[in-house]
């Protein structure tokens, strides 16, 4: 096998390659220049993405069909010689391929191979491969190729730096979107769906989910998805009884990578044939608030580099979800009564006026029911406030069982409650109180016997001339108490 003598590559040719405006045309011209200079050679230039994932950008003296077949093979498993260059970030030369047992090539060869890495920020972003047939390349050959390799490197690095800058700008835009969303009063599902769409397009993930942890119910709820049917939204995974990669990542609070789902005991077959999976926990202040789950139909599609790539985004998502949950909790604490779980007086002040205006605008009936417990002061005085609190909670539960989902229940103050009944007449309100009277028999029994309630009713239609329906209902409640116990006054 003859040693290779490099032909001359003129400086003006290198300059013209460098000045080429089209990135891909410049690379192609450079690859062809190498093949003209190196006898019996073929050249490929591949870019390296996170994963690693390779893509052939330019080639010479190799059929395109072969290139695509080799690209697919390399993305299944990198050849040892390529992997070694990525690891060491140094030029590698195999002078005689007959002595290299691990050589992988589409055709049997008896020549040489050299791989020139192009490094940006301590990472190999591209690789120039030169292969010969019948001719041997030596260290001198590698040195002689330095000028054209340097030209190609400048082209690639210039392109990669612009690309990285554009990517960083998109990353910043996404993080800004997440920060802005966490400060606005929007629906969490809507925000996460939008964020996941941006994240998927930015990082190239086709199938991805965000599951949010509900601490009260101890379930992970599918809140946003990409590449799936929206009908799956709302699906729940019990973190105590469910299995799978997602639940494992939540329980262990660490990322879980499944390179081959057919060989994983943790993987559960879902709605489509995933070959690999990555689940990353969303952790805020030491608490796992959810999971980002990504799947691919490619084998070994995910690695530790994906976790590093996702790191700033999962931190932002965790903070976003945590902020939403805390804001919702604060809102509930502000709007709901801590003892009974009913809406509080502040919530009533914000809600009642719009409900009355809506009923008047559309000429619909609406009933207000004011009610309180008889002898409640005696219960507190003789049995203690703890029993009094239990009685209030029980009474509130009975009211909730008696009303509809569209009805509103408020704790007006002390042992007094207000029920707002849209689309309800005075007679229908009285029927509801009769139902409530039968529901609360067992719950309302204390050491002093059964505790009854009194009520007053006012409605938009039957009391059309009333200036203040709430005051009217309250006056009728006190009229019921004046007349006795367990009475209802509605006129």
- For residue 284, report the phi and psi dihedrals to the nearest 5 degrees: -130, 120
Taking the C-alpha atoms of residue 204 and residue 294, their distance in angstroms, rounded to an integer, is 11
Alpha-carbon distance 42 to 128, whole Å? 11
CA distance 349 to 360: 18
Selecting among 209, 322, 415, 463, the annotated active-site residue is 415
Could you tell me if 419 and 409 are in contact, meaning their C-beta atoms sit under 8 angstroms apart? yes
- Retrieve residue 227's tokens: 């590449």
SS3 state at 48: strand
Can you spell out the DSSP letters for 97-157? GGG-TT---SS---S-EEEEEEEETTEEEEEEEEEESSEE--HHHHHHTHHHHHHHHHHHH
What is the layout of strands, in order, in the sheet containing 416-422?
A: 408-413, 416-422, 366-373, 453-459, 488-489
Annotated catalytic, 468? no
Q: In b/e form, how buried is each residue of 268-283, taking b as 16+ CB within 10 angstroms?
A: eebeeebbbbbbbbbb
Number of Cβ within 10 Å of residue 254's Cβ equals 14
Contacts with 26 (C-beta within 8 Å, 6 or more apart), sequence order: 17, 18, 20, 155
| Active site members | 415
């Amino acid at each position: 096998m003859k040693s290779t003598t490099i032909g001359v590559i003129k400086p003006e040719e290198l300059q013209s390659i460098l000045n080429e405006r089209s990135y891909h045309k410049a690379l192609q011209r450079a690859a062809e220049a190498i093949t003209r200079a190196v006898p019996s050679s073929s050249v490929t230039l591949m870019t390296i993405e996170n994963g690693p994932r390779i893509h052939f950008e330019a080639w010479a003296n190799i059929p395109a069909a072969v290139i695509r077949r080799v690209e697919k093979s390399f993305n299944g498993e990198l050849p040892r010689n390529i992997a070694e260059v990525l690891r060491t970030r140094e030029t590698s030369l195999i002078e005689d391929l007959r002595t290299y047992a691990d050589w992988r090539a589409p055709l049997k060869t008896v020549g040489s191979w050299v791989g020139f890495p192009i490094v940006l920020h301590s990472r190999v972003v591209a690789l120039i491969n030169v292969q010969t047939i019948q001719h041997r390349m030596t260290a001198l050959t590698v040195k002689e190729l330095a000028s054209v390799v340097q030209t190609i490197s400048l082209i690639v690095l210039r392109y990669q730096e612009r690309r990285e800058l554009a990517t960083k700008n998109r990353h910043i835009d996404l993080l800004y979107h997440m920060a802005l969303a966490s400060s606005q009063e929007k629906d969490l599902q809507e925000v996460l769906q939008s964020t996941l769409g941006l994240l998927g397009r930015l990082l190239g993930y086709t199938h991805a989910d965000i599951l949010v942890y509900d601490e009260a119910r101890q379930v992970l709820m599918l809140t946003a998805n990409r590449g799936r049917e929206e009908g799956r939204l709302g699906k729940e995974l019990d973190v105590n009884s469910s299995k799978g990669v997602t639940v494992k990542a939540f329980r262990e609070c660490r990322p879980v990578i499944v390179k081959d789902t057919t060989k994983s005991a943790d993987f559960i077959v879902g709605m489509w044939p995933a070959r690999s999976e990555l689940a990353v926990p969303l952790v805020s202040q030491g608490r796992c608030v959810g999971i980002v789950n990504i799947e691919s139909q490619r084998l070994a599609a995910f690695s530790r580099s994906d976790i590093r790539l996702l790191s700033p985004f999962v931190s932002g998502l965790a903070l976003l979800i945590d902020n939403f949950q805390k804001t919702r909790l604060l809102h509930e604490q502000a709007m709901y009564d801590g003892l009974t779980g009913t809406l509080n007086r502040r919530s009533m002040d914000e809600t009642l006026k719009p409900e009355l205006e809506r009923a008047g605008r559309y000429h619909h009936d609406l009933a207000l029911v004011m009610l309180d417990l008889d002898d409640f002061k005696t219960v507190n005085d003789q049995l203690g406030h703890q029993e009094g609190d239990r009685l209030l909670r029980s009474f509130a539960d009975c009211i909730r069982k008696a009303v509809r989902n569209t009805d509103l229940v408020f704790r007006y103050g002390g042992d007094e409650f207000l029920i707002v009944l849209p689309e309800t007449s005075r007679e229908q309100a009285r029927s509801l109180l009769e139902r409530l009277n039968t529901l609360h028999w067992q719950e309302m029994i204390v050491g002093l016997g059964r505790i009854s309630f009194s009520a007053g009713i006012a409605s938009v239609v039957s009391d059309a001339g009333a200036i203040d329906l709430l005051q009217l209902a309250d006056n009728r409640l006190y009229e019921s108490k004046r007349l006795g116990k367990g009475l209802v006054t509605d006129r």
